[in-house]
Chain A
Amino acid sequence: MPARASEFLAGLIFGIGLLLSGMTDPAKVLGFLDIFGAWDPSLALVMGGAIGVGLIGFGLARRRTHALLGGPMHLPATRPVDGRLILGSLLFGAGWGLAGFCPGPALVNLAAGEPAALPFVAAMLAGMALHALLDRRG
């Protein structure tokens, strides 16, 4: 299998997983984050199912020096927890809690023609570009 086909397939399976799991419905996401109200624990099972499989996959990946279809393994280097990590994650979580969208589900909704995904994704790309710009200067 060519590498591009595998990358395409990974995106497709990931997107179908988001749709089937309910992650693409902001009401469902906000129901999960609303632990002080009527809490919908479904998304804990999404993470549980994904990590259950992922522990095996990444356990195998860690022992490899090359990807199965060639090329090096691009695994993140081990770094300490720092302020950027925490501040960035807090800002992300605040945005996630405001709209119920994280990046993957927002892109799937955009592709599905959901109008509300448009301002979100446009602003998300602007936020990412802003970070790239500031990062290059700093």
Chain B
Amino acid sequence: MSIDWTHFTPWSALAGGVLIGLAATLLVLCNGRILGISGIVGGLLRPGNDRGWRIAFLLGLFSAPFVYAALAPADRVAAPVIDAGWGTLALAGLLVGYGTRLGSGCTSGHGVCGLSRRSPRSLAATLAFIGAGVAVVFVVRHVPG
């Protein structure tokens, strides 16, 4: 292992993390809801009538790139780098969609809210998804052939 110092961005990472924590705090204290994206979206795909809060949250999320572009200095608004082809992206999306619903959460629900609640289930889930992610990146990048 070696640290990639050229890409390490500690301050923006920490500041962004604090905003994510504030958003989760706002939603749970004011609305009594867990900020878990897979749960919020997944709840719209099954019958039920608690849709209003999910839609309000997602409208805010969809507004974020536009507000961010207006507020942030131009050199901080970089296009993401995506190497994967459409077939890989579709397979990855299917795994992420099915997996997060089977495992009752994703990075936000388990990794942020669950760990903040000190939930043993969320700790187990977070270790499992980071472990699987590390394993897949290892195979893709470092196993020859």
Contact = CB atoms under 8 A, between A and B. Distances in A.
B80 A120 contact: no
Contact of B95 (A12, A15, A39, A92): A92
Nearest to A59: B116
Give chain A's interface residue range (CB within 8 Å of chain B).
35 or more
A126 B93 CA distance: 8
Contacts of A88: 98-104, 125
Interface string B71-85: 110001011111110
Give chain B's interface residue range (CB within 8 Å of chain A).
35 or more
A120 B93 contact: yes
A45 B138 CA distance: 22
A120 B132 contact: no
Contacts of A137: none
Contacts of B121: 79-81, 85
B135 to A, nearest CB: 7
Given A90-B129, A123-B92, 17 more contacts: A8-B57, A14-B60, A16-B67, A38-B7, A40-B8, A49-B21, A52-B18, A86-B124, A89-B132, A90-B103, A97-B140, A98-B91, A100-B82, A102-B107, A104-B108, A120-B90, A129-B97
Interface of B: 1-4, 7-10, 12-35, 37-38, 41-42, 45-46, 52-53, 56-68, 71-72, 76, 78-84, 86, 88-108, 110-113, 115-121, 124-126, 128-138, 140-142
Counting from the closest, the 7 A-B pairs by CB-CB distance are A21-B16, A15-B64, A127-B97, A49-B17, A88-B103, A11-B60, A53-B21
